[in-house]
């Protein structure tokens, strides 16, 4: 099993270029089914989850081909089944977007459901509520969700929680429903806007993406299009945090600064300097931390609040900041599994319900560490880079799901990190 060896204590310096957004890719790849014609998606991150999704589409009969780096050709016209079986899905949660996409295109789908994951139960009741509101029949049998609705009719759907996944899944089905759909209390994440832009390029009519009310007028036919996805705000945020945690000076290229306002604000509050600019081609953010950081309090919230996906890397940074920080996780019920690993490095963190109380202290010590999920893995890398001494980080397959060439990009910034068998 591969793992990382990190020798910490080195300042990160230089520049890094951000790849395409994993969570935009995972919404836009299934959306390509809706046209029934070929699409090309560009700027895809070369990560495990993207490869997995392409394989699943091939598994149901679509033609998929990666052309040059980061571009995927999808021809859905040869899809020959609507049954996405358990062995295709394994633990890949985003495959549930095929429910909305196949329902929207063919009027039916059956997708095996992965269980919860290490950050919480992650139910899909709101996805199902949306499909039923559109007139589809939904049942759960033998661990798979079956949806059926030859003729979908637009509806007003109120989301009890501004769920990213439910908003995306309902959009995928509603663009082909007859009449108007209104999603109330919709998620506002940039991925939703990116998906809406792609759908509208295909000929759909999606208005209000990025606000809490999305209005969709269904269309009978959508067309294949080429589309380039947005840069990954969570990858960018992870590098911003790593730069600050190592007292470094890093320019993060190919970002959309408005997507990163919450993390920029918190890093500045902690005493790092954060500067935005553009080099005529791309926007960049430069993060410098030439003095010890101060403690800050953080509460994760749906976009544009502080993102839950950066809560874990931020915990690693605050473990070495001066003073007591409190991080409250409001989106997932079990997203502190990285804390016990940080404590084994000497961090002083106590989890109390949905909050972690962090007493920052100088100097964590490297040791053997085990990632429990994607962003916990990123948090352990940040901690190991800031720690003194050697760390061995295991279960890095979680990291490979969401970060493209992570150790390569970090090494180019001066980190002493390598992947070993």
Residue 402 in the binding site for ligand EPZ (CB under 6 A): yes
117 is a catalytic site residue: yes
The span from the CA of 92 to the CA of 272, in Å, is: 36
Taking the complex as a whole, the smallest distance from the CB of residue 35 to ligand EPZ amounts, in Å, to: 22
Residue nearest to ligand EPZ (CB): 165
3-state secondary structure the chain: CCEEEEECCCCCEEEEECCECHHHHHHHHHHHHHHCCCEEEECCCCCHHHHHHHHHHHHCCCEEEEECCCEEEEEHHHCCCCEECHHHHCCCHHHHHHHHHHHHHHCEEEEECCCCECCECCCCHHHHHHHHHCCCEEEEECCEEEEECCCCECCEEECCCCCHHHHHHHHHHHCCCECEEEEECCCCCHHHHHHHHHHHHCCCEEECECECEEEEECCCCCCCCEEECCECHHHHHHHHHHHHHCCCEEEEECCCHHHHHHHHHHHHHCCCEEEEEECCCCEEEEEECCCCCECCCEEECCCCCECHHHHHHHHHHHCCCEEEEEEECCCCCCCCHHHHHHHCCCCEEEEECCEEEEEECCCCECCEEECCCHHHHHHHHHHHHHCECEEEEECCHHHHHHCCCHHHHHHCCCCEEEEEC
Residue 150 in the binding site for ligand EPZ (CB under 6 A): no
Active-site residue among 117, 139, 146, 343? 117
Chain positions 275 to 304 lying near ligand EPZ, rule: CB under 6 A, are none
| 145 phi, psi to nearest 5 deg | -100, 130
Residue 292, both tokens = 């010890």
Residue from the set 54, 166, 196, 381 that interacts with ligand EPZ by CB under 6 A:
166
CB closer to ligand EPZ out of 251 and 376? 376
Site string for ligand EPZ, 233-272 (x = CB under 6 A): -x--------------------------------------
Taking the complex as a whole, the smallest distance from the CB of residue 206 to ligand EPZ amounts, in Å, to: 18
Taking the complex as a whole, the smallest distance from the CB of residue 124 to ligand EPZ amounts, in Å, to: 5
Site string for ligand EPZ, 111-130 (x = CB under 6 A): ---------x-xxxxxx---
The span of 8-16, 22-30, 258-266, 347-355 binding ligand EPZ (CB under 6 A) equals: 22-30
Residue 133 in the binding site for ligand EPZ (CB under 6 A): no
Binding-site size, ligand EPZ (CB under 6 A):
25
Residue from the set 53, 332, 370, 398 that interacts with ligand EPZ by CB under 6 A:
332
Residue 372 in the binding site for ligand EPZ (CB under 6 A): no
Residue from the set 21, 25, 26, 173 that interacts with ligand EPZ by CB under 6 A:
26
Residue from the set 165, 248, 313, 366 that interacts with ligand EPZ by CB under 6 A:
165
CB closer to ligand EPZ out of 160 and 418? 160
Residue 161 in the binding site for ligand EPZ (CB under 6 A): yes
Site string for ligand EPZ, 182-221 (x = CB under 6 A): -----x----------------------------------
* Interacting residues with ligand EPZ (CB under 6 A): 22-23, 26, 94, 120, 122-127, 161, 163-166, 187, 234, 308-309, 331-332, 374-375, 402
Residues known to be catalytic: 117
């Amino acid at each position: 099993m591969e793992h990382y060896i990190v020798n910490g204590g080195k300042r990160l310096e230089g520049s890094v270029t951000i790849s395409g957004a994993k969570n935009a890719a995972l919404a836009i790849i299934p959306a390509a089914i809706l046209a029934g014609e070929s699409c090309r998606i560009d700027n895809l991150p070369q990560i495990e989850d993207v490869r997995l999704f392409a394989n699943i589409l091939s598994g149901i009969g679509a033609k998929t081909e990666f052309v040059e780096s980061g571009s995927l050709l999808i021809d859905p016209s040869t899809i020959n089944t609507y049954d996405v079986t358990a062995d295709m899905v394994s633990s890949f949660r985003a495959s549930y977007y095929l429910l909305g996409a196949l329902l929207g295109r063919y009027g039916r789908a059956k997708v095996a459901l992965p269980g919860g994951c290490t950050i919480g139960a992650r139910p899909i009741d709101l996805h199902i509520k949306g499909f039923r509101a559109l007139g589809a029949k939904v049942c759960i049998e033998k661990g798979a969700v079956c949806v059926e609705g030859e003729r979908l009719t637009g509806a007003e759907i109120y989301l009890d929680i501004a769920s990213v996944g439910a908003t995306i899944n309902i959009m995928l089905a509603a663009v082909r429903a007859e009449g108007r759909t209104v999603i109330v209390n919709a998620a506002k994440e940039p991925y939703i806007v990116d998906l809406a832009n792609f759908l509208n390029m295909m000929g759909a009519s999606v208005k209000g993406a990025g606000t809490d009310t999305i209005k969709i007028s269904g269309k009978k036919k959508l067309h294949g299009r080429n589309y380039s996805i947005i840069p990954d705000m969570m990858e960018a945020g992870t590098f911003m945090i790593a730069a600050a945690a190592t007292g470094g000076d890093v320019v993060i290229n190919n970002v959309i600064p408005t997507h990163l306002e919450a993390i920029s604000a918190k890093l500045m509050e902690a005493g790092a300097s954060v500067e935005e600019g553009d080099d005529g081609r791309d926007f960049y953010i430069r993060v410098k931390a030439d003095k010890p950081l101060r403690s800050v309090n953080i509460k994760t919230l749906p976009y544009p609040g502080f993102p839950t996906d950066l809560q874990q890397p931020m915990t690693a940074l605050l473990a070495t900041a001066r003073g007591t920080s409190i991080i409250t996780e409001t989106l997932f019920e079990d997203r502190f599994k990285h804390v016990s690993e940080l404590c084994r490095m000497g961090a002083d963190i106590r989890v109390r319900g949905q909050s972690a109380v962090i007493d920052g202290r100088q100097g964590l010590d490297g040791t053997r560490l085990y990632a429990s999920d994607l962003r916990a893995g990123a948090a352990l890398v940040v901690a190991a880079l800031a720690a003194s001494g050697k760390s061995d980080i295991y279960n890095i397959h979680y990291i490979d799901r969401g970060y493209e060439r992570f150790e390569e990009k970090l090494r180019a910034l001066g980190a002493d990190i390598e992947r070993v068998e």
